[in-house]
């Protein structure tokens, strides 16, 4: 399978080369020329994530040098669960925070790291740049820590991440963390500018681990495939998803999975006060804006990169989509209410999705709905614990890193500052 640029001005590439490039030379993002089709019967056991992953991803790697290693990669990456739990209100919660950094981005980051570590060598070193609004950088740092041939530079906005998120961004051996005087969009713009500078890209072998990299989105399709098949086998109905989203990477993975024929019905995107997608799906007008700081900080994105992929013209993507936006007061109220009524504690991002279920009509609630829970609440305990009235215990993975030392450098939001770090 070949992958093309959304801008259409760069040559198509196989998946390995598209992953190494990160973004296309013309500034576009890579998307598959077409999407394979599957049926439920193509998958033996939806609880076998490595097996689902290998079946689902094989067509995307067909003809690529990594195909022979795909089974090993899937077994290495998908070695923790993505369980669905039934809530007292009838909804299902898809828990994507059982990986080493307790966020859904562990799936994509670990897959990308496993692929890149097999592609890089002493003659072809890689420098992976990642801009993060909170969780991506921690997952990427953890995934690449100890990588043989690829090094990682993380850019994150000063004062815009939680204390535990900041620890996860700055504690990984061999990973360079840069605290940027700006917001996430500034960090993302610096990464894009570095890719657009041919001398920097060639000299340092730049690649990306943000969701602009197609190697992040492909593995995120796996938990939508697995969970939708499970729901379909249990109920005979397609699974409908409520997804909290900022940069639209997780949402695009779900839409791609649906377009591949998986039993997925409607998709609702929940946003915080950064409402570019909500305005588009309500009024058909896309108007990116400066990002707004919120409780759900990993979604503080004013100009979602993956909207370009949404507009790339792959068939069926735009059907059955809704979106909404809520403010911090509503997020806080949702966390408090569901802790009391459901005995379930959300992180602020997952609470955005939980609100979307509450506002469904009774007829819709009769169908199977899946709330996508993207992170463990402990990572945001400073905000969540006062709302629920008790302490939150860390997951074993989070407890293992909470006392690790941190190392970070402060830089301005300027490409020359990033170039100086690369040269250093």
Backbone angles phi, psi at 175, to 5 degrees: -105, 130
For β-strands 150-157 and 175-181, DSSP reports them as: parallel
Least confident range of 118-122, 222-226, 235-239, 337-341: 118-122
What is the topology classification, in CATH, of domain 76-104+215-400? Rossmann fold (3.40.50)
Starting from the edge strand earliest in sequence, which strands make up the sheet with 150-157, in order? 206-208, 126-131, 150-157, 175-181, 409-412
Q: Please state the pTM of the whole predicted model.
A: 0.91
Q: pLDDT (tens digit, 9 = 90+) per residue, 194-213?
A: 988 888 988 888 888 878 89
Q: Where are the domains of the chain?
A: 76-104+215-400
Nearest to 134 by CA among 423, 277, 287, 347: 347
Mean pLDDT of the region 205-224: 92
Q: Dump the DSSP string for 303-329.
A: S-TTHHHHTT--TTTTTTEEEEE--HH
Is the pLDDT confidence value at 70 over 90?
yes
Confidence of residue 36 (pLDDT cuts 50, 70, 90): very high
Q: Classify burial at 403, counting beta carbons within 10 Å of its beta carbon; exposed 0-12, middle 13-18, buried 19 or more.
A: exposed
Helix, strand, coil percentages, rounded to 5, for the chain: 45, 15, 40
Residue 16 confidence (pLDDT): 96
Confidence of residue 162 (pLDDT cuts 50, 70, 90): confident
Residues 6+ apart with CB under 8 A from 352: 244, 270, 271, 272, 296, 299, 326, 331, 334
Q: pLDDT (tens digit, 9 = 90+) per residue, 325-337?
A: 999 999 999 999 9
13-50: burial string, b at 16+ Cβ within 10 Å, e else: bbbbbbbbbbbbeeebbbbbeebbebeeeebeebeebb
């Amino acid at each position: 399978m070949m992958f093309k640029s959304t801008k259409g001005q760069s040559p198509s590439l196989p998946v390995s080369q598209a992953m190494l490039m990160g973004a296309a030379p013309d500034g576009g993002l890579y998307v598959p020329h077409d999407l394979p089709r599957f049926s439920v019967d193509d998958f033996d056991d939806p609880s076998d994530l490595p097996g689902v992953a290998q079946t689902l991803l094989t067509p995307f790697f067909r003809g690529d040098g990594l195909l022979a290693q795909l089974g090993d990669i899937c077994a290495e990456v998908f070695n923790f669960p993505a369980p669905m739990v039934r809530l007292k209100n009838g909804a299902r919660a898809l828990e994507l925070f059982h990986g080493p950094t307790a966020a859904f981005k562990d799936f994509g980051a670990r897959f990308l790291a496993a692929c890149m570590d097999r592609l890089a060598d002493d003659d072809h070193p890689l420098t992976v740049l990642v801009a993060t609004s909170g969780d991506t950088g921690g997952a990427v740092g953890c995934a690449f820590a100890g990588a043989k041939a690829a090094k990682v530079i993380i850019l994150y906005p000063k004062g815009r991440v939680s204390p535990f998120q900041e620890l996860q961004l700055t504690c990984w051996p061999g990973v360079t963390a840069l605290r940027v005087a700006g917001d996430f969009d500034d960090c993302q713009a610096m990464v894009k500018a570095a890719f657009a500078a041919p001398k920097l890209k060639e000299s340092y072998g730049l690649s990306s681990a943000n969701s602009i990299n197609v190697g992040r989105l492909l593995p995120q399709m796996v938990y939508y495939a697995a969970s939708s098949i499970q729901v379909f086998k249990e109920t005979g109905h397609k699974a409908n998803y409520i997804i909290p989203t900022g940069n639209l990477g997780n949402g695009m993975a779900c839409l791609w999975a649906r377009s591949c024929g998986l039993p997925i019905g409607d998709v609702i995107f929940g946003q915080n006060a950064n409402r570019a997608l909500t305005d588009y799906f309500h009024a058909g007008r896309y108007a990116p804006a400066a990002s707004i700081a919120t409780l759900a900080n990993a979604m503080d994105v004013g100009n979602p990169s993956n909207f370009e992929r949404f507009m790339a013209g792959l068939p069926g993507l735009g059907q059955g989509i809704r979106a909404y936006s809520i403010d911090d007061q509503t997020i806080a109220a949702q966390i408090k209410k569901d802790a009391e009524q459901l005995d379930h504690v959300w992180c602020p991002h997952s609470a955005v999705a939980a609100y979307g279920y509450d506002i469904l009509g009774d007829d819709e609630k009769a169908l199977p709905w899946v709330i996508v829970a993207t992170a463990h609440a402990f990572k945001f305990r400073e905000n969540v614990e006062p709302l629920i009235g008790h302490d939150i215990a860390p997951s074993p993975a989070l407890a293992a890193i909470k006392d690790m030392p941190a190392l970070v450098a402060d830089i301005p939001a300027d490409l020359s500052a990033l170039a100086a770090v690369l040269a250093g």
